[in-house]
Chains A and B, each alone.
Chain A
């Protein structure tokens, strides 16, 4: 198990880290209440500039999905696959109750089970290794696989 010092989030401010119960970090407009992810200083709904950081729910429902069927171009893609080892992966929007729909990669053993409306859980874990460090990213996984 690598030490926490060897684990680096894929970007600052996307989720609480280090943490035993990591949460995605959004922002909530103090004027109109609209929630955005990632956190941002301006409100895209009412054009206000008074937002606060909000820890998002870690469970939600799959709102829509697709399966990425080919190896994405590098750059910008930094996944570990080669053309030989690439396996299609899921991408979707997960609706977090009363907050916002977040776009994320989906982790599942069986892509054929993906359905709109299924329960999903946040997963924060290693994505790739870079410069000797583990790069930590967020995913959603079907609740019945968690």
Chain B
């Protein structure tokens, strides 16, 4: 049973004072319903989640107490992607015909605060100042730059591109493009990564309505088909956030596993993708994820960025909506934001940032603590 996305909704990302995360989720859910002309009472099920803004299923008190199956999903940075995968399985299994995936969040300002013991680590790890995700991102790209001759120029180019794309996205948080110098001279946060190379915790929500592919055209003229969804966790030997030690022998990252599984499931390869959203927690992540997802060889990113291959008019546009850098990181919503953007691009509704020549195949990828990745392949 193939699965289609027939309706999409979003609450603008960034900071919205006086509106709770749950209310933002409800806003996105209503917008997704309006996009299809369906009512909440038509939904047979929902999967939803946030990491810091409450239980998704409580939004039924606003949307309507219809008695549907509503399951909360909590899976770190893959929360939105996991809600989508759960919805996909619910339809693919034949149990339901139509339902919703929704993700939202609202984080305090500043770096994420980690509870080491809740992450399976010793309390000492936080006491001594190592329970910080930016350190991991700095250390992973530091080694990668050493191994594959990537320079700081590439880090700057990724950030400049993403903020430029964000400036063309009315739902993005950071709408002002940064110059090369703005990024290159911003404060060093975790060497070699600077302030404007990082995303920040933020707020936002996304929702989508999925149904059996054979019924999709009943609701929309432009269905987007979910050809693959894959979520994988780390294998022994991969270099992951919050690792008190690492094996001497490196294993492929969970992204590599999720990407391969998704391409196999969809029956397409990296060369078939017209537009991609790749997790850009910071510049280094986008660079490494270009290779981990199979789009280029390790070390080719320097050339790709110099030649503009990942720009909106390039051969593989990446993070056309500005990515996490321009949208911020509401953990529960980001994975669905990527899918939202691909749906807009494949429907030809991305406005000023529309990828030219009618893209027909898109790709999304999230990565998060403590080492998991979620990938989707979408087609018209």
Q: Which residues of A contact B (CB under 8 A)?
A: 10-11, 14, 26, 34, 36-38, 44-45, 63-70, 72-73, 75-79, 88-89, 91-93, 95, 98-103, 105, 116, 127, 135, 137
Contacts and interface: CB of A to CB of B under 8 A. Distances in A.
Interface in B176-195: 187-193
A77 B129 contact: yes
Nearest to A75: B126
A102 B246 CA distance: 7
- Going nearest first, the 3 A-B pairs with the smallest beta carbon separation are A76-B126, A66-B138, A37-B245
B116 interface: yes
B122 A38 contact: yes
Interface residues of B, number: 40
B142 interface: yes
B62 interface: no
A14 B189 CA distance: 29
Nearest to A92: B139
A15 B134 CA distance: 27
A64 B245 CA distance: 12
Contacts of B125: 76
A89 B248 CA distance: 25
Nearest to A114: B191
A102 B244 contact: yes
Nearest to B114: A76
Interface string B173-213: 00000000000000111111100000000000000000000
Nearest to B122: A11
Contacts, number: 122
A100 B236 CA distance: 13
Interface of B: 110-111, 113-116, 122-132, 134-135, 138-140, 142-143, 146, 187-193, 236-237, 243-248
Contacts of B236: 34, 44-45
A104 B102 CA distance: 39
Contacts of B134: 66, 68
A44 B189 CA distance: 32
Contacts of A101: 245-248
Given A66-B138, A67-B191, A72-B129, A36 B245 contact: yes
20 contacts: A10-B128, A14-B124, A26-B245, A64-B143, A65-B142, A66-B138, A66-B193, A68-B134, A69-B188, A73-B110, A76-B125, A77-B131, A100-B247, A101-B245, A102-B244, A103-B130, A103-B246, A105-B129, A116-B146, A135-B127
A11 B123 contact: yes
A64 B142 contact: yes
A114 to B, nearest CB: 8
A93 B115 CA distance: 21
Contacts of B111: 70, 72-73
B143 A69 contact: no
A10 B126 CA distance: 11
Contacts of B113: 73, 75-76
Given A67-B191, A76-B127, 17 more contacts: A10-B127, A14-B124, A38-B245, A45-B237, A64-B139, A67-B138, A69-B187, A69-B190, A70-B189, A76-B123, A76-B126, A77-B131, A92-B139, A93-B139, A101-B248, A102-B244, A105-B128
